[in-house]
Amino acid sequence: MPRTLPLMSRDDDPPRRSALLSFRFLGTALLGSLVMALVCTFGPLSAQIAVLGAFISILGGLFLSYLAQDDQRECQRTEVIERLTVPLSLAPDREIYAQYLAICQALTELARKDDAILRQTALLKLASIVSQVQSLTGGTIVFSLTESWRMVYEQLLFSPDIRKYRSVAWVKTADYWQDQPGRQSMQVNFEAVHRGVHIERIVVLPHALWPQGQLLPSPDILPWIEEQHNHGLWLTLVRESHLMHEPDLLCDFGIYGDRAVGVQELDAHARTLRFTLEFSAQAVQLAEDRWRRISLYTTSLRCLLDQLPPDA
């Protein structure tokens, strides 16, 4: 059965009484009229004018004070509306709005706590969170001392709009990307290249892994490089010593289409110290420029393999 909701009607509102019939108006008007009538009956003309002037002045004062109060009320109303604009602008984005509500709720609860140490610690933590959120707003995500950046890396390589991925692998030790997360990321590379993503990688190698005078890198790292080559990635190599006089080129980074740039910093055991992901056109442009400069020093692996003797 369809149900009909009762319509809102102006007739349902309680009838508004005219201001002319209110006690405030009638009482004041009658009292004023009585005073003026008495002054007109018993007082001289000058007294009548003085009383009339006083009444008009009182009326003017009241009007001005009403205007001042109205201004104040308007300011307060505007302030309240401004506070509401944040949730109003966030409301269409459900996921972020849910986070906003959760943070507001937690902050409200936190504000009720009166332990001074708790409050001080909370404020310090909150300041750090604000800084991180502001960094996110600028398109930068920083992962410190964790390999969890690889999840975002995977997402990027699997996004349909990323057709090209260029990376510079600054291999300082043979452990580079040899642990479980590293090997998994390499599988993601192979899957991506199979789906049609064009992957180019420049491998920067130190003397220990590619001694001067040797055609190919040492067996400690060569299988890792050859595996990528065999999967159809375009590999080029450069000796670390060739980039020494341009130290800003010694960097481990990746360019994900024209969308983002990731910079990896590793410790001595090739574990991630920090991975910074920047989603900005400017960062991509700068990384591309750096890529072009490094490319000037590189040699393709194919070219090196061609120089192997026939029986190798």
Partner 1 sequence: MRPTQLYLDTARLGRMSPRAQQAHLDFARLAGEEGGSLFFENFLRVGAGDWADETQASYPGLASWRGVGSLKESLRALAISSPGLPVLLANRSAQLMKLAARLLYRPCENVLVTDLGWPPYHDVLAAEAARAGANLTSVPVRDMALHGQAGEDEIVEAILTNYLRQRCDGLFLTAVSHQGVRQPVERLVRSLEAVAEPRFVVIDGSQEFCHVSADLRHEYCDLYLAGCHKWLQAYHPMGLAFYGRRRSRFVIETVLDQLVFKGELDDPLLRFSTQLETDRLDSRTETVNLACLFSCQGAVADALEEPRTPSRSLPRRLDSLTVAAGVAAASGWQPLLPPPAFRTGILLLQAERETSRALPATHLRHAFSERGVALTAYDGGVVRLSMPAQGWQPGELERLQGALRAAS
Q: Is 164 in the site for partner 1 (CB under 8 A)?
A: yes
Which amino acid appears at position 186 of this protein? M
Angle at 203 between CA 197 and CA 209, to 5 degrees: 145
| Backbone φ and ψ of 165, nearest 5° | -135, 120
Q: Is 259 in the site for partner 1 (CB under 8 A)?
A: no
Piece in contact with partner 1 (CB under 8 A), picked from 99-107, 206-214, 216-224, 225-233: 225-233
Among 150, 198, 242, 259, binds partner 1 (CB under 8 A): 198
CA dihedral 206, 208, 214, 217 (to 10 degrees): -70
Cβ closest to partner 1, residue 196 vs residue 247: 196
Q: Is 233 in the site for partner 1 (CB under 8 A)?
A: yes
Q: Is 240 in the site for partner 1 (CB under 8 A)?
A: no
Piece in contact with partner 1 (CB under 8 A), picked from 53-61, 65-73, 88-96, 196-204: 196-204
Cβ closest to partner 1, residue 237 vs residue 266: 237
Among 83, 194, 207, 293, binds partner 1 (CB under 8 A): 194
Among 150, 229, 259, 271, binds partner 1 (CB under 8 A): 229
- Closest to 306 (Cα-Cα) out of 240, 229, 242: 229
How many residues interact with partner 1 (rule CB under 8 A)?
Answer: 21
Tokens of 6: 């009762």
Piece in contact with partner 1 (CB under 8 A), picked from 115-123, 137-145, 181-189, 301-309: 301-309
Angle at 251 between CA 249 and CA 252, to 5 degrees: 140
Numbers of helices and strands, H then E, in the chain: 9, 8
C-alpha distances in Å from residue 96, one per residue of 100, 106, 310: 6, 15, 61
| Residues at the site binding partner 1, with contacts judged by CB under 8 A | 163-164, 193-194, 196-198, 226, 229-234, 300, 302-303, 305-306, 308, 310
